[in-house]
Structure 1
Amino acid sequence: MADIEPYENALDAIPGAHPYPRSSRYHDAEIGVHRQADGTEVRYVKRRLLPPLDQLDLLDDETRPHTVSSGDRPDLLAQRYFGDPAQWWQIADANPVLDPRELTDEAGKVIEVPLPGGRGERRV
Protein backbone atom coordinates (compact mmCIF):
# COMPACT_ATOMS: atom_id res chain seq x y z
CA MET A 1 0.00 0.00 0.00
CA ALA A 2 2.85 2.41 0.74
CA ASP A 3 3.84 2.31 -2.95
CA ILE A 4 0.42 3.59 -4.00
CA GLU A 5 0.24 6.60 -1.66
CA PRO A 6 2.71 8.87 -3.54
CA TYR A 7 0.78 8.25 -6.77
CA GLU A 8 -2.54 9.11 -5.14
CA ASN A 9 -1.06 12.19 -3.48
CA ALA A 10 0.40 13.38 -6.78
CA LEU A 11 -2.99 13.01 -8.48
CA ASP A 12 -4.71 14.91 -5.69
CA ALA A 13 -2.19 17.74 -6.06
CA ILE A 14 -3.08 18.30 -9.73
CA PRO A 15 -6.52 19.86 -10.22
CA GLY A 16 -8.56 17.85 -12.73
CA ALA A 17 -5.95 15.07 -13.00
CA HIS A 18 -7.31 11.80 -14.31
CA PRO A 19 -5.70 8.46 -13.40
CA TYR A 20 -6.22 6.89 -16.84
CA PRO A 21 -4.32 7.72 -20.03
CA ARG A 22 -6.20 9.08 -23.06
CA SER A 23 -6.00 5.65 -24.73
CA SER A 24 -7.91 3.98 -21.88
CA ARG A 25 -11.60 3.25 -22.19
CA TYR A 26 -11.96 4.74 -18.72
CA HIS A 27 -10.30 8.07 -19.56
CA ASP A 28 -13.62 9.87 -19.99
CA ALA A 29 -15.30 8.05 -17.12
CA GLU A 30 -16.37 10.19 -14.21
CA ILE A 31 -14.37 9.88 -11.01
CA GLY A 32 -16.50 9.51 -7.89
CA VAL A 33 -15.57 10.15 -4.29
CA HIS A 34 -16.87 8.06 -1.40
CA ARG A 35 -16.41 9.46 2.08
CA GLN A 36 -15.90 6.78 4.73
CA ALA A 37 -17.24 7.10 8.26
CA ASP A 38 -13.86 8.36 9.49
CA GLY A 39 -13.85 11.11 6.85
CA THR A 40 -11.34 9.43 4.54
CA GLU A 41 -12.12 10.02 0.87
CA VAL A 42 -11.89 7.05 -1.48
CA ARG A 43 -11.83 7.84 -5.20
CA TYR A 44 -13.33 5.40 -7.71
CA VAL A 45 -14.28 5.27 -11.36
CA LYS A 46 -18.01 5.42 -11.94
CA ARG A 47 -19.54 2.82 -14.22
CA ARG A 48 -19.00 3.26 -17.92
CA LEU A 49 -22.26 2.49 -19.70
CA LEU A 50 -22.95 2.12 -23.40
CA PRO A 51 -26.27 3.09 -24.96
CA PRO A 52 -28.85 0.25 -25.13
CA LEU A 53 -28.18 -1.91 -28.19
CA ASP A 54 -31.62 -1.28 -29.67
CA GLN A 55 -30.94 2.48 -29.75
CA LEU A 56 -27.56 2.32 -31.46
CA ASP A 57 -27.05 3.57 -34.99
CA LEU A 58 -23.57 2.73 -36.25
CA LEU A 59 -22.49 5.14 -38.95
CA ASP A 60 -20.83 3.52 -41.99
CA ASP A 61 -18.16 6.20 -42.31
CA GLU A 62 -16.93 5.59 -38.75
CA THR A 63 -16.20 1.87 -39.09
CA ARG A 64 -14.96 -0.73 -41.51
CA PRO A 65 -16.04 -4.36 -41.67
CA HIS A 66 -13.63 -7.15 -40.76
CA THR A 67 -14.25 -10.80 -41.59
CA VAL A 68 -13.02 -12.93 -38.72
CA SER A 69 -10.37 -15.52 -39.59
CA SER A 70 -9.30 -18.53 -37.57
CA GLY A 71 -6.85 -17.37 -34.93
CA ASP A 72 -8.17 -13.80 -34.74
CA ARG A 73 -8.42 -12.32 -31.25
CA PRO A 74 -9.66 -8.90 -30.19
CA ASP A 75 -6.18 -7.85 -29.03
CA LEU A 76 -4.57 -8.99 -32.29
CA LEU A 77 -7.14 -7.05 -34.31
CA ALA A 78 -6.51 -3.96 -32.18
CA GLN A 79 -2.79 -4.30 -32.88
CA ARG A 80 -3.47 -4.61 -36.60
CA TYR A 81 -5.92 -1.72 -36.91
CA PHE A 82 -4.75 0.65 -34.15
CA GLY A 83 -1.15 -0.38 -33.49
CA ASP A 84 -2.00 -1.07 -29.84
CA PRO A 85 -3.40 -4.38 -28.55
CA ALA A 86 -4.80 -2.63 -25.46
CA GLN A 87 -7.34 -0.86 -27.70
CA TRP A 88 -9.41 -4.08 -28.18
CA TRP A 89 -12.19 -2.40 -26.22
CA GLN A 90 -12.83 0.00 -29.12
CA ILE A 91 -13.74 -2.97 -31.32
CA ALA A 92 -15.86 -4.49 -28.56
CA ASP A 93 -17.74 -1.19 -28.11
CA ALA A 94 -18.50 -1.04 -31.85
CA ASN A 95 -20.19 -4.46 -31.83
CA PRO A 96 -23.18 -5.81 -29.90
CA VAL A 97 -21.34 -8.29 -27.64
CA LEU A 98 -21.23 -8.70 -23.89
CA ASP A 99 -18.04 -10.78 -23.89
CA PRO A 100 -15.17 -9.58 -26.14
CA ARG A 101 -14.33 -13.21 -26.97
CA GLU A 102 -17.63 -13.32 -28.89
CA LEU A 103 -16.08 -10.98 -31.46
CA THR A 104 -13.73 -13.64 -32.83
CA ASP A 105 -15.29 -16.91 -31.71
CA GLU A 106 -16.55 -17.80 -35.19
CA ALA A 107 -14.50 -17.66 -38.40
CA GLY A 108 -16.38 -15.94 -41.22
CA LYS A 109 -18.34 -13.62 -38.91
CA VAL A 110 -18.24 -9.96 -39.99
CA ILE A 111 -17.60 -7.44 -37.23
CA GLU A 112 -17.23 -3.67 -37.28
CA VAL A 113 -13.86 -2.07 -36.54
CA PRO A 114 -13.94 1.64 -35.73
CA LEU A 115 -11.62 4.01 -37.52
CA PRO A 116 -8.59 5.10 -35.49
CA GLY A 117 -9.47 7.96 -33.19
CA GLY A 118 -13.16 7.15 -33.27
CA ARG A 119 -12.97 5.74 -29.72
CA GLY A 120 -15.16 2.81 -30.79
CA GLU A 121 -18.34 4.53 -29.74
CA ARG A 122 -21.71 4.21 -31.37
CA ARG A 123 -24.02 7.15 -31.84
CA VAL A 124 -27.61 7.22 -30.67
Structure 2
Amino acid sequence: MADIEPYESALDAIPGAHPYPRTSRYHDAEIGVHRRADGTEVRYTKRRLLPPLDDTDQEPQQHVVGAGERPDLLAQRYFGDPGQWWQIADANPVLDPRELTDEAGRVIDIPLGGGFTRGDRRV
Protein backbone atom coordinates (compact mmCIF):
# COMPACT_ATOMS: atom_id res chain seq x y z
CA MET A 1 0.00 0.00 0.00
CA ALA A 2 3.01 2.29 0.30
CA ASP A 3 2.83 2.81 -3.48
CA ILE A 4 -0.61 4.38 -3.16
CA GLU A 5 0.27 7.03 -0.59
CA PRO A 6 2.51 9.16 -2.88
CA TYR A 7 -0.21 8.99 -5.54
CA GLU A 8 -2.85 10.20 -3.08
CA SER A 9 -0.54 12.96 -1.84
CA ALA A 10 0.11 14.07 -5.41
CA LEU A 11 -3.63 14.24 -6.11
CA ASP A 12 -4.20 16.33 -3.00
CA ALA A 13 -1.57 18.80 -4.23
CA ILE A 14 -3.27 19.31 -7.61
CA PRO A 15 -6.26 21.67 -7.47
CA GLY A 16 -9.30 20.04 -9.05
CA ALA A 17 -7.72 16.57 -9.26
CA HIS A 18 -10.30 13.83 -8.97
CA PRO A 19 -9.56 10.47 -7.35
CA TYR A 20 -11.84 8.44 -9.62
CA PRO A 21 -11.18 7.44 -13.24
CA ARG A 22 -13.48 8.71 -15.99
CA THR A 23 -15.22 5.32 -16.23
CA SER A 24 -16.18 5.31 -12.55
CA ARG A 25 -19.71 6.04 -11.41
CA TYR A 26 -18.18 8.50 -8.95
CA HIS A 27 -16.07 10.45 -11.46
CA ASP A 28 -18.48 13.39 -11.52
CA ALA A 29 -19.36 13.16 -7.82
CA GLU A 30 -18.35 16.11 -5.69
CA ILE A 31 -15.48 15.58 -3.26
CA GLY A 32 -16.10 16.99 0.20
CA VAL A 33 -13.63 17.86 2.93
CA HIS A 34 -14.35 17.26 6.61
CA ARG A 35 -12.13 19.03 9.12
CA ARG A 36 -11.59 17.10 12.35
CA ALA A 37 -11.33 18.79 15.73
CA ASP A 38 -7.53 18.48 15.54
CA GLY A 39 -7.51 20.34 12.21
CA THR A 40 -6.75 17.40 9.92
CA GLU A 41 -8.79 17.22 6.74
CA VAL A 42 -10.55 14.06 5.59
CA ARG A 43 -11.68 13.93 1.95
CA TYR A 44 -14.82 12.00 1.06
CA THR A 45 -17.12 11.48 -1.89
CA LYS A 46 -20.45 13.22 -1.48
CA ARG A 47 -23.67 11.38 -2.16
CA ARG A 48 -24.26 10.61 -5.82
CA LEU A 49 -27.84 11.26 -6.97
CA LEU A 50 -29.25 10.17 -10.29
CA PRO A 51 -30.79 12.91 -12.40
CA PRO A 52 -34.44 12.47 -13.39
CA LEU A 53 -35.02 10.83 -16.74
CA ASP A 54 -36.26 12.94 -19.60
CA ASP A 55 -39.27 11.61 -21.45
CA THR A 56 -38.18 11.20 -25.06
CA ASP A 57 -38.71 8.75 -27.86
CA GLN A 58 -35.36 7.08 -27.06
CA GLU A 59 -35.86 4.01 -24.94
CA PRO A 60 -33.09 1.88 -23.46
CA GLN A 61 -32.51 -1.56 -24.93
CA GLN A 62 -34.22 -4.35 -23.04
CA HIS A 63 -32.59 -7.62 -22.03
CA VAL A 64 -34.26 -10.81 -20.82
CA VAL A 65 -32.13 -12.24 -18.03
CA GLY A 66 -30.92 -15.80 -18.55
CA ALA A 67 -29.91 -18.30 -15.88
CA GLY A 68 -26.48 -17.60 -14.44
CA GLU A 69 -26.13 -14.06 -15.78
CA ARG A 70 -24.57 -11.34 -13.65
CA PRO A 71 -24.50 -7.55 -14.00
CA ASP A 72 -20.74 -7.56 -14.67
CA LEU A 73 -21.13 -10.13 -17.45
CA LEU A 74 -23.90 -8.07 -19.04
CA ALA A 75 -21.70 -4.96 -18.86
CA GLN A 76 -18.93 -6.87 -20.64
CA ARG A 77 -21.35 -7.99 -23.34
CA TYR A 78 -22.98 -4.61 -23.96
CA PHE A 79 -20.18 -2.14 -23.12
CA GLY A 80 -17.01 -4.21 -23.41
CA ASP A 81 -16.12 -3.47 -19.77
CA PRO A 82 -17.39 -5.51 -16.79
CA GLY A 83 -16.66 -2.56 -14.51
CA GLN A 84 -19.54 -0.65 -16.10
CA TRP A 85 -22.18 -2.84 -14.41
CA TRP A 86 -23.23 0.23 -12.44
CA GLN A 87 -24.70 1.81 -15.57
CA ILE A 88 -27.13 -1.11 -15.86
CA ALA A 89 -27.93 -0.85 -12.14
CA ASP A 90 -28.58 2.90 -12.51
CA ALA A 91 -30.96 2.25 -15.41
CA ASN A 92 -33.15 -0.10 -13.35
CA PRO A 93 -35.03 0.50 -10.09
CA VAL A 94 -33.06 -1.79 -7.76
CA LEU A 95 -31.27 -1.19 -4.48
CA ASP A 96 -28.94 -4.18 -4.82
CA PRO A 97 -27.42 -4.83 -8.28
CA ARG A 98 -27.74 -8.60 -7.70
CA GLU A 99 -31.51 -8.12 -7.97
CA LEU A 100 -31.03 -7.40 -11.67
CA THR A 101 -30.11 -10.98 -12.52
CA ASP A 102 -31.33 -13.08 -9.59
CA GLU A 103 -34.42 -14.20 -11.51
CA ALA A 104 -34.21 -15.71 -14.99
CA GLY A 105 -36.81 -14.21 -17.32
CA ARG A 106 -36.74 -10.76 -15.75
CA VAL A 107 -36.66 -7.93 -18.29
CA ILE A 108 -34.12 -5.22 -17.50
CA ASP A 109 -33.12 -2.00 -19.25
CA ILE A 110 -29.67 -1.69 -20.79
CA PRO A 111 -28.51 1.93 -21.13
CA LEU A 112 -28.04 3.36 -24.59
CA GLY A 113 -24.56 3.62 -26.06
CA GLY A 114 -22.68 2.66 -22.91
CA GLY A 115 -24.25 5.43 -20.86
CA PHE A 116 -27.72 5.94 -19.52
CA THR A 117 -28.99 8.61 -21.85
CA ARG A 118 -32.39 9.95 -22.49
CA GLY A 119 -32.36 13.31 -24.14
CA ASP A 120 -28.54 13.22 -24.34
CA ARG A 121 -28.12 13.20 -20.55
CA ARG A 122 -25.31 10.96 -19.33
CA VAL A 123 -25.12 9.52 -15.85
TM-score under structure 1 normalisation?
Answer: 0.84
What is residue 91 of structure 1 aligned with on the other side?
Answer: 88
What is residue 46 of structure 1 aligned with on the other side?
Answer: 46
AA at the equivalent of 2:31:
I
CA separation of 1:75 and 1:8: change in aligned 2, threshold 3 A: same
1:114 aligns with 2:108: no
Equivalences for residues 22-101 of structure 1 within 5 A:
22-50=22-50, 56=53, 59=56, 61=58, 63-101=60-98
TM-superposed deviation, 1:27? 0.5
TM-superposed deviation, 1:60? 5.4
Contact kept? 1:75, 1:87, Cα under 8 Å: yes
TM-superposed deviation, 1:3? 4.3
TM-superposed deviation, 1:106? 1.2
Q: How many residues align?
A: 120
Query: Could you say what the CA RMSD is over the residues aligned between the two structures, in angstroms?
Result: 2.3
Could you give the per-residue CA deviations for residues 32-91 of structure 1, whole angstroms, max 9, x where no partner exists? Answer: 00011111111000111235xxx6556552510001111111000000001110110000
CA separation of 1:98 and 1:117: change in aligned 2, threshold 3 A: same
CA separation of 1:86 and 1:67: change in aligned 2, threshold 3 A: same
CA separation of 1:58 and 1:105: change in aligned 2, threshold 3 A: farther
Give the SS at the match of 1:61: coil
Q: Please, which runs of 5 or more residues in structure 1 have no aligned partner?
A: none
